[in-house]
Structure 1
Amino acid sequence: MVAIVGFGSLLSEASARSTFGDGVHNFRLATVLDYRRVFAHPASIFFQRGIANLETKEIASLSTAPAPGCKFLVSVFDIPEELLPDFYEREEEFKIISAKFQELDGSAGGEVYLRHCLLAVKKLGQDVYDDFVATTYLGDRATSIKEYIEANPSIMLERPPPHLVDRYSG
């Protein structure tokens, strides 16, 4: 088995299964470090599927780019190695690399980032905040953010590093 990291459409387990069928095993969440997601890849398949708009230049699919210090959540799942050749052929326009990832183990995956998200949704109103904390879960997919912050109220005391204060303060 080999691990596949999903950062765009493959964040969806349904999409992963439509791509790899019953070959998908152990679907889970993780964090990739030192990369960022970028809508920078013109995708001809979007024209074929009727979801591109040339007039507004809405033609890009998602890719990743090295970005030291950045991180983002991804899906990770295992597939049999014999499925790789078809995957490489389907994604021939991309440079597929081996990237390190850290699996989430039920922790929030980044206290500073979670605090930022909570501050951001709070600014949008109490209804948005209540919805976010009730419908967003930790990597264990069982613990809601509401339950997590009730058990760990010190989360709101976390502070981003100085170079991220403006960006990660809601």
Structure 2
Amino acid sequence: MISVVGFGSLLSERSARDTVPGLNDYRLVRVPGFRRIFNKVGIVFIAGHGQPADSLEVSSCSTEPCSTISIIAAQFECPVDQFTELYEREHRYRWIEVVPIDLEGRPQIAARMCTGYTDLEYRLNKCVTEDEYHERVGRHYQGAIWRDDILPFPRYLKFCLVSAAAHGDEVLDNFLDTSFLADGRTSIRDYLITRPELVPSSLRERVC
């Protein structure tokens, strides 16, 4: 088994099982020293969900170090032979090792978690040739993948909110307050106060 931490759409166990049907021991944990940030262009939103490539509302969620923040995430054990599918799903991220703690503060086993990359590092380390980069990215989108001027893809953000809320108010509040726009300054909670139409109706009172 390979231990994995998920912090965005993987807060939904159903979504995790879509890619890793054999996962075990899905549970909530804290990851100290990281925050979420919506600064990666989600190529799948362009290639698979019809979002225009020139839209600003195209980002998915990543993580970055932040010594003052602790995110609540999901940890699960992934069978080795199913990790390839998860690796493909998260291909444009860098994988790092983190040591989560459970919600009572007890250390858990080390796990792999996705975090930010740069465009150059992605090309050098994940795409062997220009043809591979074109197949994975270039035929759908021209431009930087990691940006500081983009906004969350609305359907993805709503899914993350619903997934966090399903675990209770503490997890939802943590998501709202430890997640930031690509500008690195605006929390998702503050963003949604200005964009209440992006909040699922079932969560309006809990978010705004």
Q: Which blocks of at least 5 consecutive residues in structure 2 are unaligned?
A: 106-166, 172-208
Alignment of 1:76-91 (within 5 A): 76-91=75-90
Output the CA distance in 2 between the equivalents of 1:73 and 1:51: 31
Q: Is 1:136 the counterpart of 2:135 in the alignment?
A: no
Is the Cα contact below 8 Å between 2:28 and 2:75 reproduced in 1? yes
Is the Cα contact below 8 Å between 2:19 and 2:85 reproduced in 1? no
Which digits, 9 at most, give the CA deviation of each residue in 1:22-63, with x for residues without a partner? x11111000001110000000110112326355651000100
Alignment of 1:116-127 (within 5 A): none
Output the CA distance in 2 between the equivalents of 1:6 and 1:101: 11
| Residue matched to 2:59 | 60
Shift of residue 2 of structure 1? 1.8
Q: TM-score, normalised by structure 1?
A: 0.57
State the secondary structure of the residue aligned to 2:62: strand
CA RMSD of aligned residues (A): 2.4
The aligned amino acid for 1:75 is A
Output the CA distance in 2 between the equivalents of 1:39 and 1:24: 26
Runs in 1 of length 4+ with deviation above 4 angstroms?
53-56
Output the CA distance in 1 between the equivalents of 2:35 and 2:18: 25
Alignment of 1:1-170 (within 5 A): 1-21=1-21, 23-50=22-49, 52=51, 56-105=55-104, 136=168
State the secondary structure of the residue aligned to 1:17: helix
Higher normalized contact order (CA 8 Å, seq sep 6+, divided by chain length): 2
Pick the structure with greater CA Rg. 1
Q: TM-score, normalised by structure 2?
A: 0.48
Report how many aligned residue pairs link the two structures.
Answer: 110
The aligned amino acid for 2:100 is F
